Chains A and B, each alone.
Chain A
Amino acid sequence: MKKKALSVVLGICLLGTALVTGCEKKGVEQSAKSDSSKQEETQGSTDDKEKGSAKSASDVTVRYICLTKGIPYFDPIIDGMKESVEKAGATFQDTAPDTSDATAQIPLIEAAIQDKVDVICISPSDPDALCATFDKARDAGIMVLCVNDDITGNEDRRDGAVMSTDYDKLGKENFEAFAESMNYEGKFVALSSKTGTPFQENQMQIYRDMMAEDEKYAKMEFVDVLYGDDEATKSLTEAEAAIQKYPDLKGIISPTSVGIVAAAQAVENAGMTGKIMVSGTGTPSQCKTYLENGTMPNAYLWDTGLCGNVAGTLAVKLATGEATLEPGAEIDLGEYGKVTADDDCLVPAGDPLKFTKDNAGDYDF
């Protein structure tokens, strides 16, 4: 009995090795085949180069990998990119994972490599987790452009990035306009989203830096940071509590679209319109009422559609060789304007948008 069992185990081991070696053989043949086809391809492309024409736009495929499915914020980016890529005569595809987990985009990048697209535009879910896969794509000759979000700290692992706007510039313009509405004096608080979110932390740091550097903000006092977790109710409660706590409060600045509306609501509920100024980042449609009744003298945001337009046009131009992305490069994108790359090959798509009671009705987002 024992002998029989032993022989069966041995048999299985043999079968296993046979299977493995069998697979190897097949694989070698296959890879040899694909190698030769690759050679043909490279020959083909050198032929093209010899003719003096780089890839024409009609041969270019741009694939956009969104953060995850179903976030309305990204819709204008997708639409804008599709519009500009197709206008340039190239093919546009878009895909997205159904979770925003750090690594959910990896299989999609692998699929794009296998499909031999020319440019991968991606809104990365994580600054670190995707780098190894980006390397693989770039080794395969695919250009990797980050869109809307960057892999901060790993800039050398992607070819470039297109941001909706220069967020530092946005922060500075926003704070200056906010300070002006407060007549450069009095206490103010910031209403943020969650602790540690990069965008909000960066914006608040800009306010602090500006106050430290410029004398004209000397009479202003940044008394507190509130965290509303980007939930309407919690943001409102936090803002109302701050109005109670600081009776001489002169302003609330909120670099989040949920917070800015909650802050304006809290000021109105307290009957402090005109006494407490509200500003920050928010969409014109959400802020319109408050802009018009004076609770919010101004609000800022960026044009996400333009971000898509710029990313799409840039992607095609880079793939056809019409433009190269290097630090300091100035690239003319025709109807979408001129863009300039910074030292990390980051390209802001356009200037920050300022909304006031006069122009809030002009936008449809």
Chain B
Amino acid sequence: MKHKLKINRIIRPELTVFVFMILSLVVGILLSPNFLDIRFLLGSTIFYCELGLMAIPFTLLLTSGEIDLSIAANMSLVACLVAVLYQAGMSMPVLIVIGIAVGTLLGFFNGLLVTVTKLPSLVITIGIMSVYQGFSQVLVGDAAISGFPEWFIGLDQYTILGLIPLNLIILIVVALIFSFLLKKTVWGRKVTAIGLNRGTALYSGVAVEKTKVLLFTIQGTFCAIAGIMTMSRLQMAKYTIAGDGQMDVITMVLLGGTAFAGGRGSVLGTLAAFFIIVFIRTGMRLALLSNYSQMAILGLLLIVVIIISNGLEKMAKKYE
């Protein structure tokens, strides 16, 4: 009995992710002799920290069985809005608050739409995505807005002991907080319960709709923060600032062992997946592989990890 319990504890969906994280590190080392340089590796995380930051609340959202495809669009809309208002003469500290408030509202709006219409969030947020993208293009057109104040730009240049970028620290702290929220609080259990079986959760007295709206709202807040952080890093805002970021975020979350249908989620798995993506992309860039092959390899990896972690889950269930 004791023996069985142990195996059950070791074989977890997240295990695959951590194994693959180590593997991706090894692959990176094999790809280029210049890969294993802690300063360079940590420095390379800054290109993905904003996406990672959106992937953290996204893990909870997906665990509850919902998805938000408009996150990258929300992010660029906030960035464009802040940039345009800054150009119009408003002060940056005020705009940061306004930007975060707007992002939060956009998220809240998504939550309301999904819960009120009772339509799949996939459908709703595809539409919303185009709406936000359209708005940002209307706001700034093709232009890139720059010329932000000196103190605002280059957040990514701050490091702890000249080594760990501030953005990465923020990401890790946020991940730890959300991991605690998901695994150790009643609220987190409710989020998982909603994803497992919405009906059961509802009849057990979980405020399903309210929780979902809250999750979308938090997602919106983090999209706004990510948008402003990206502006600071790139020293400009443009409607393409987030690109197809939602795809990278979804890849991170799924790679991290969160179930697409909800009911199972791991924030620390997402964090590990974040590092997998950083390692692989950085390694392949050093090996001068094109972005297209990077995408193909990441896609393959995603499929392999999901198949393995599903298999492991079934195995773990057998031992129960």
Specify whether A and B are partners.
yes
Chain A interface (Cβ < 8 Å from any Cβ of B): 5, 8-9, 12, 15-16, 19-20, 23-24, 26-28, 30-31, 34, 69, 93, 95-99, 101-103, 106-108, 110-111, 114-116, 126, 128-129, 132
Task: Knowing A9-B180, A20-B164, A27-B39 are in contact, say whether A114-B286 is a contact too (CB < 8 A).
Answer: yes
Given A5-B185, A23-B164, A111-B282, A95 and B288 touching (CB < 8 A)? yes
Q: How far is the CB of A196 from chain B (nearest CB, A)?
A: 10
Chain B 136-162 near chain A by CB (<8 Å), digits 1 or 0: 000000001010000000100000110
Q: Across the interface, name the chain A residue whose C-beta is closest to B35.
A: A114
Measured CA separation A171–B34 after assembly (Å)? 46
Contacts of B176 in A (CB 8 A): 12, 15-16
Output the least CB separation between A94 and chain B (Å): 8
Is B234's CB under 8 angstroms from A103's CB?
A: yes
Q: Which of B49-57, B104-112, B236-244 contacts A (4 or more CB under 8 A)?
A: B236-244
| Interface presence of B312 (CB below 8 A) | no
Known contacts: A27-B164, A69-B290. The answer to whether A12 contacts B180 by CB under 8 A is yes
A sample of 16 more A-B contacts (CB under 8 A), given A27-B163, A30-B38, A103-B236, is: A8-B180, A16-B172, A20-B164, A24-B160, A28-B163, A30-B37, A30-B39, A34-B37, A95-B285, A95-B288, A98-B291, A102-B238, A110-B43, A111-B285, A111-B286, A114-B34
Known contacts A12-B176, A115-B286; decide if A101 and B240 are in contact (CB<8 Å). Answer: yes
Q: Which residues of A contact B37 (CB under 8 A)?
A: 30, 34, 114
Nearest residue (CB) in A for B36 is A30
A-B contact pairs, 30 of them (CB 8 A): A8-B184, A12-B180, A16-B172, A16-B173, A20-B160, A20-B172, A23-B164, A26-B38, A27-B163, A28-B161, A30-B39, A31-B163, A34-B37, A69-B290, A69-B291, A93-B288, A97-B291, A98-B291, A98-B292, A99-B240, A99-B243, A101-B238, A102-B236, A103-B234, A107-B44, A111-B286, A114-B37, A114-B286, A115-B34, A116-B34
Residue B319 lies at the interface, judged by CB distance under 8 Å to chain A = no
The answer to whether A20 and B169 have CB atoms under 8 Å apart is yes
Instruction: Knowing A31-B39, A107-B285 are in contact, say whether A24-B234 is a contact too (CB < 8 A).
Output: no
Q: Are A24 and B236 in contact (CB under 8 A)?
A: no
A129 lies within 8 A of B235 (CB): yes
In the complex, the chain A residue whose C-beta lies closest to that of B169 is: A20
Q: Kindly state the separation between the CA atoms of A284 and B39 in the bound complex, as whole angstroms.
A: 50
Give the 7 A-B residue pairs with the shortest CB-CB distance, closest first.
Answer: A98-B291, A30-B38, A27-B163, A111-B285, A103-B234, A114-B34, A114-B40
Chain B, residues 172-216, CB within 8 Å of chain A (1/0): the string is 110011001000110000000000000000000000000000000
Chain B residues near A128 (CB, 8 Å)? 146, 235
Q: How far is the CA of A99 from the CA of B292 in the complex (A)?
A: 11
A147 to chain B, nearest CB (A): 18
CB-defined contacts of B161 to chain A, threshold 8 Å: 24, 27-28
Q: How far is the CB of B306 from chain A (nearest CB, A)?
A: 25
Task: Give the interface size bracket for B toward A.
Answer: 35 or more
Cβ of A98: which chain B residues have Cβ within 8 Å of it?
A: 290-292
B172 to chain A: which residues have CB within 8 Å? Answer: 16, 19-20
Task: Establish whether residues A129 and B234, one from each chain, have CB atoms under 8 Å apart when the complex forms.
Answer: yes
A101 to B43, alpha carbons, bound, how many Å?
Answer: 21
Number of A-B contacts (CB under 8 A): 90
Which residues on the B side are within 8 Å of A116 (C-beta)? 34
A97 contacts across to B, CB distance below 8 A: 291
Complex contact B38–A110 (CB within 8 A)? no
- Collect the chain B residues with CB atoms within 8 Å of residue A108's CB: 285
Pick the contact of B144 from A102, A111, A132 — CB < 8 Å? A102
Q: Which residues of B contact A12 (CB under 8 A)?
A: 176-177, 180
A15 CA to B173 CA, complexed, in Å = 10
Which residues of A are found within 8 Å of B164, using beta-carbon distances? 20, 23-24, 27
Residues of chain B within 8 A of A126, CB atoms compared: 144
Among A5, A28, A31, A111, which residue has the most Cβ atoms of chain B within 10 A? A111
Chain B residues near A95 (CB-CB < 8 A): 285, 288, 290
Residues of B within 8 A of A16 (CB): 172-173, 176
Q: Evaluate contact between B285 and A31: CB separation under 8 angstroms.
A: no
Q: With A20-B164, A99-B243 given, is the CB distance from A110 to B44 under 8 Å?
A: yes
Nearest-neighbour CB distance to chain A for B88, whole angstroms, equals 21
When distances are taken between beta carbons in the complex, the residues of chain B under 8 Å from A129 are 146, 234-236
Q: Tell me the smallest distance from the CB of B228 to a CB of chain A, in Å.
A: 16
User: Which residues of chain B come closer than 8 Å to A34, judged between CB atoms?
Assistant: 37, 39
Q: For A13, give the chain B residue with the smallest CB separation.
A: B176
B243 / chain A contacts, CB cutoff of 8 Å = 99, 101
A24 CB to closest chain B CB (Å) equals: 5
- Complex formed: what's the CA distance from A132 to B40 in Å? 16
Tell me how far the C-beta of A340 lies from the nearest C-beta in chain B, rounded to whole angstroms. Answer: 33
Assuming A8-B180, A31-B38, A98-B292, is B43 touching A24 (CB within 8 A)? no
- The complex places the Cα of A115 from the Cα of B282 at a distance, in Å, of 12
Q: How far is the CB of B34 from chain A (nearest CB, A)?
A: 5
Chain B residues with CB under 8 Å of A96's CB are: 290
Q: Does B32 contact A (CB under 8 A)?
A: yes
CA distance A133 to B180 in the complex (A): 38
Closest CB-CB distance, B294 to chain A, in whole Å?
9
Q: Closest chain A residue to B33 by CB distance?
A: A115
Q: Mark B244-256, 1 if CB is under 8 A from A, else 0.
A: 0000000000000
Cα–Cα, bound, A128→B234 (Å): 11
Task: Provide the B79-106 mask, 1 if CB < 8 A to any CB of A, else 0.
Answer: 0000000000000000000000000000
The answer for the CA separation of A19 and B47 in the assembled complex, in Å, is 22
Bound form: Cα–Cα A288–B40 in Å: 52
A5 to chain B: which residues have CB within 8 Å?
184-185
Q: How far is the CB of B104 from chain A (nearest CB, A)?
A: 24
Q: Which residues of chain A are within 8 angstroms of B184 by Cβ–Cβ distance?
A: 5, 8
Instruction: Please indicate the chain B residues that have their CB under 8 angstroms from the CB of A9 in the complex.
Output: 180
What residues of B have a CB within 8 angstroms of the CB of A31 in the complex?
38-39, 163
**Set of chain B residues within 8 Å of A101, measured between Cβ atoms:** 238, 240, 243
**Which residues of A sit under 8 angstroms from B292, Cβ to Cβ?**
69, 98
CB distance from B53 to the nearest CB of A (A): 16
